[in-house]
Structure 1
Amino acid sequence: MYIKQIELKDFRNYKELKTEFHPNVNIFIGQNAQGKTNLLESIFLTSMGRSFRTNKDKDMIRFGKEFFRIRLVAFKDDNDLVVELAVNRDGKKGIKIDGVKAKKLSQLFENVYIVAFSPEDLRIVKDEPEKRRKFMDRELCQIKPSYYNSLSQYRKALMQRNACLKEFYMGNPNMTDDILDIWDNKMAEYGSRILSCREEFVRKINKISGRIHREITNGKEQLEVSYEPNIKVSGNQPALFYEELKKNREKDKRRGTSGSGPHKDDLRLQIGHIDIRSFGSQGQQRTAALSLKLSEIELIKEETGESPVLLLDDVLSELDQERQNYLIRSLEKTQVFLTTTELSGEAEQRLGNIKYFQIKDGMIVSEKEKSML
């Protein structure tokens, strides 16, 4: 699978764009704030249905315009696959897959598999737990599309439960435990599914990332990734999950918010029994982050039989030569989109067949290909 073509209309700083991509490596070169990352964002959007930069779809509409539209053509299973996505100022989103209107966002997930890697991802180890939960959720939505429904339903139930708890906190006499029970049961139903999926995911990612980390460090370090569920219930057991929520109910009433559940989960990352989230060196944290991101690629291949498309947003400049070399060696049989202000001769040589796109002011001002043949 690879992306053949993209068309943009009033997306970010692009008025109109239509271009063809190389099945191997595509490099967007240009100064900052010219539109390189915007191109990566448009590709990510057609795979995941949302941006990796903003939660507000309307922020991606070009200034002064009423909507944006993206049309992406991928080659998959010996056929062209066409994904179209449009968003207007009211936030209404329309999606078509091969000309058929999608009824739900999760229909996107099984079409074009994506792994995005930015400088922000290098901080995933030391940043707050929310970043590590997002890492799990993005990957799981792609390899297990039903996960998105569980996550969405859990978040809705959590929002309603928190609204009820706020009423208890404010002393509303009309709020009762019977109402809270409704949302506790919903949270238990979907939360236990999330917990079960995350447990399985972390077991697999631990095995893959551990091997990658050993290779990067020449066997000097062993990375261990483990799941830290906020509610200590193993597997899909909604009844036990519910009991845990009920146990914490009075405390939650006093706080006016839900203090337990998958929205409080985390990943533990250790090297030699040292928690590198807090005590790892910058080098250890960056190597662990690289190991996690590369393990995403391998896991998607294992679970779907497809190689994902890799989006690298100015990452090479953040890595030392050793980590750069390992990353580039890992990109065989993977279509790559890479942004940079400049590319070293050594990196260029290692990347192989490349198509360059010079980006300026939301336009591709030049294109050229370099072949290793």
Structure 2
Amino acid sequence: MYVDSVRLINFRNYMDLNLELNKKVNIFIGKNAQGKTNLLESIYLCSAGKSFRTNVDKDMINIKKNQCYVGAKVFGNHIDKFIEIKLERNKPKRIKINKLELEKNRDLYGGLNVVVFSPEDLRIIKDGPSERRNFIDREISQIKPVYRYNLNRYNKILFQRNNLLKNMRMNKKNKHLIDIFNMQMVKSGSKVIIDRARFVENLALSSRKIHRDITYGKEELLLKYRTNVVERFDDILYIEKKFMEKLEKDINNDILKGTTKIGPHRDDIDIFINNMDSKTFASQGQQRTAVLSMKLAEVDIIKEEKEDFPVLLLDDVLSELDKDRRKYLIHTFRDLQTIITSTDIIDLGEFDSLEKKIFCIENGNVNSNAN
């Protein structure tokens, strides 16, 4: 899979840009605040229908304008798509594929698969469980779009149940409503749990091998999915049964606290390096290598599921890696389209054997200066 071209109008600091990309390596060089990350954001938007930097769509509209447009031509195995997204300040987002407007934004998933790696991804290890949940939620949604539907449904029911719990502290007559919410939560939540468990299992296997290769066998990466609902994930009926039992058992405590204690909204991923908690005991270099291994494992998983490579977006990360890790990463570029940003004139000699296109970015203007 690859992005053939991108068109941007009033997107961030790009007023009007037509950009043709190489099928393999594309390197964008420029100083900070010139628009490099904005370009990657526009491509990610065509994949996920949202930004990887903000939850507010209107932030992507040029500050002096009321609307913006992003278009991308995408090709791959049995894929020929023209994805268009229009954002307006006071109107819903509009998404089209091959000129046909989507009724639901989730229908965009799978049209363009991407993996993005940026310095902020260290938060997967450094920050709390919500960051790790968001990480796996984004990736599962690409390979299984119905997952996003189940997750959104679960979160909606959870919100309603929590509101009811708060009211029941004053009036406990709504027990029958709690029973209804419990059944709905169990159905959608159990699907979320089993999809997360299977994804993390695959991610753990692939990232463990990659991490061994990157560290020359000196370090062992271990990922483990953790939920407070169950400890085994081989039977969805078993998950539903245990989930319901725990919700019913904790009802009085939930009413007292006004919130739901049990469920996938409390899930986490344990990340260990050489059997030690990476958040507490790993160096920043070790953490970066672990996240890199996880990101490259995502590439493998998407390739396996979709029978085509995703597009790899690297936002100013090469300069943060040592020579050996750069060498390993660059080796993967042979198989997939990669779009790289850098503030430095990186050692282009490392890319000599690769098909590539090099661009310079300055204040939203993009020029190709070498091949």
Q: Are 1:208 and 1:295, in contact at CA under 8 Å, matched by a contact in 2?
A: yes
Structure 1 equivalent of residue 360 of structure 2? 358
Distance in 1 separating the partners of 2:70 and 2:348: 34
Distance in 1 separating the partners of 2:193 and 2:304: 21
Task: State the 1:348 CA deviation.
Answer: 4.3
Q: Are 2:76 and 2:308, in contact at CA under 8 Å, matched by a contact in 1?
A: no
Task: State the 1:79 CA deviation.
Answer: 5.7
**Structure 1 residues 143 and 303: alpha-carbon distance in aligned structure 2, compared to 1, 3 A threshold:** same
Q: Match of 1:294, as an amino acid?
A: L
Q: Match of 1:269, as an amino acid?
A: I
Q: Match of 1:258, as an amino acid?
A: T
Structure 2 equivalent of residue 209 of structure 1? 207
**How do residues 277-356 of structure 1 correspond to structure 2 at under 5 angstroms?**
277-345=279-347, 348-349=350-351, 352-356=354-358
Structure 2 equivalent of residue 73 of structure 1? 73
Q: Are 2:70 and 2:84, in contact at CA under 8 Å, matched by a contact in 1?
A: yes
Structure 2 equivalent of residue 25 of structure 1? 25
**How do residues 18-167 of structure 1 correspond to structure 2 at under 5 angstroms?**
18-77=18-77, 80-167=80-167
Alignment deviations for residues 234-272 of structure 1 (CA, whole Å, 9 cap, x no partner) = 432323312212222221211112222111111112233
The question of 1:248 aligning with 2:250 is answered yes
Q: Are 1:2 and 1:309, in contact at CA under 8 Å, matched by a contact in 2?
A: yes
Which deviates the most, 205-214 or 228-237?
Answer: 228-237
Distance in 1 separating the partners of 2:127 and 2:328: 24
**Structure 1 residues 350 and 329: alpha-carbon distance in aligned structure 2, compared to 1, 3 A threshold:** farther
Which deviates the most, 2-11 or 85-94?
Answer: 85-94
CA RMSD of aligned residues (A): 1.7
Distance in 2 separating the partners of 1:351 and 1:343: 18
Structure 1 equivalent of residue 5 of structure 2? 5
Alignment gaps of 5+ in structure 1: none
Which deviates the most, 231-240 or 331-340?
Answer: 231-240
Task: State the 1:357 CA deviation.
Answer: 1.9
Task: State the 1:186 CA deviation.
Answer: 1.5
Q: Are 1:328 and 1:351, in contact at CA under 8 Å, matched by a contact in 2?
A: no
**Structure 1 residues 309 and 351: alpha-carbon distance in aligned structure 2, compared to 1, 3 A threshold:** farther
Structure 1 equivalent of residue 191 of structure 2? 193
Distance in 2 separating the partners of 1:318 and 1:210: 21
Distance in 2 separating the partners of 1:31 and 1:120: 18
**Structure 1 residues 351 and 131: alpha-carbon distance in aligned structure 2, compared to 1, 3 A threshold:** farther
**Structure 1 residues 21 and 166: alpha-carbon distance in aligned structure 2, compared to 1, 3 A threshold:** same
Structure 2 equivalent of residue 224 of structure 1? 222
SS at match of 1:137: helix
Q: Match of 2:290, as an amino acid?
A: A
Q: Are 1:35 and 1:360, in contact at CA under 8 Å, matched by a contact in 2?
A: yes
Distance in 2 separating the partners of 1:163 and 1:90: 29
Distance in 1 separating the partners of 2:131 and 2:327: 26
Number of aligned pairs?
Answer: 367
**Structure 1 residues 77 and 303: alpha-carbon distance in aligned structure 2, compared to 1, 3 A threshold:** closer
Task: State the 1:91 CA deviation.
Answer: 4.7
Which deviates the most, 176-185 or 203-212?
Answer: 176-185
Q: Are 1:25 and 1:351, in contact at CA under 8 Å, matched by a contact in 2?
A: no
Distance in 2 separating the partners of 1:64 and 1:344: 34
Distance in 2 separating the partners of 1:140 and 1:43: 18
SS at match of 2:15: strand
Q: Are 2:230 and 2:242, in contact at CA under 8 Å, matched by a contact in 1?
A: no
Structure 1 equivalent of residue 369 of structure 2? 368
Task: State the 1:15 CA deviation.
Answer: 1.3
SS at match of 1:156: helix
Alignment deviations for residues 297-355 of structure 1 (CA, whole Å, 9 cap, x no partner) = 01100111010000111111222222222111122211011111123225643572221
Distance in 2 separating the partners of 1:156 and 1:45: 24
Q: Are 2:319 and 2:346, in contact at CA under 8 Å, matched by a contact in 1?
A: no
**Structure 1 residues 361 and 179: alpha-carbon distance in aligned structure 2, compared to 1, 3 A threshold:** same
Alignment gaps of 5+ in structure 2: none
Alignment identity in percent? 44
Q: Match of 2:226, as an amino acid?
A: E
Alignment deviations for residues 196-255 of structure 1 (CA, whole Å, 9 cap, x no partner) = 011111111111011001101111122111111121264323233122122222212111
**Structure 1 residues 90 and 182: alpha-carbon distance in aligned structure 2, compared to 1, 3 A threshold:** farther
Alignment TM-score, normalising by the size of structure 2: 0.94
Which deviates the most, 51-60 or 130-139?
Answer: 130-139
Which deviates the most, 338-347 or 241-250?
Answer: 338-347
**Structure 1 residues 350 and 212: alpha-carbon distance in aligned structure 2, compared to 1, 3 A threshold:** farther
Distance in 2 separating the partners of 1:249 and 1:328: 53
Distance in 1 separating the partners of 2:292 and 2:250: 37
